[in-house]
């Protein structure tokens, strides 16, 4: 039964990641007609922020999807503190920018994402799902 839940959750994360990827170009297209006006806050700014290693916080649909997906993995991950969940995700992106080993990335997530009943993290399976959610919604290029 647990395997089915994990598979369903992983499928949901994948679909949400794909939905997030397909909606982003539309936002770029909307910002296209006024590149000078959008340069400081739109796609140009996140790219320069990402170059520094700190991705911007997700907004709009990305934020909603990110928080909902984390809550779907385990409600204790967000635990009513949206800003902390976003901050941890951004920190994870910064930490893994130069870390390419998936096992180490998952270990980073286990250390970073904790909760009152999970002081040592949420385990490797949930941590892998958290990592996929962070990457899909906060730092897809890492």
Mean pLDDT of 27-36: 39
Does pLDDT of 16 surpass 70?
A: no
pLDDT given at position 7: 42
- Contact (CB, 8 A) for 74 and 65: no
Does pLDDT of 141 surpass 70?
A: yes
pLDDT given at position 49: 53
Domain ranges within the chain, ordered by starting residue: 2-137
Between 140 and 33, the more confident residue is 140
Record the pTM. 0.66
| 80 backbone φψ class: left, alpha, beta (φ>0; ψ -120 to 50) | left
pLDDT given at position 126: 98
DSSP string computed for 1-55: -HHHHHHHHHHHHHHHHHHHHHHHHHHHHHHTT-HHHHTTTSTHHHHHHHHTT-P
pLDDT given at position 121: 96
Over residues 50-101, the pLDDT tens digits come to 456 689 999 999 999 999 999 999 999 999 999 999 999 999 999 988 888 9
pLDDT given at position 52: 60
Between 47 and 30, the more confident residue is 47
């Amino acid at each position: 039964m647990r395997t089915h839940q994990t598979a369903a959750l992983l499928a949901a994360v994948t679909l949400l990641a794909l939905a997030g990827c397909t909606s982003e170009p539309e936002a770029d297209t909307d910002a296209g007609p006024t590149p000078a006006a959008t340069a400081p806050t739109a796609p140009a700014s996140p790219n320069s922020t990402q170059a520094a290693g700190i991705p911007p916080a997700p907004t709009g649909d990305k934020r909603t999807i990110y928080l909902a997906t984390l809550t779907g993995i385990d409600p204790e991950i967000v635990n009513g503190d949206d800003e902390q969940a976003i901050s941890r995700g951004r920190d994870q992106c910064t930490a893994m920018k130069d870390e390419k080993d998936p096992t180490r990335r998952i270990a980073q997530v286990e250390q970073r994402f904790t909760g009152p009943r999970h002081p040592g993290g949420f385990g490797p399976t949930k941590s892998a799902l958290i990592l996929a959610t962070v990457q899909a919604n906060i730092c897809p290029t890492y």
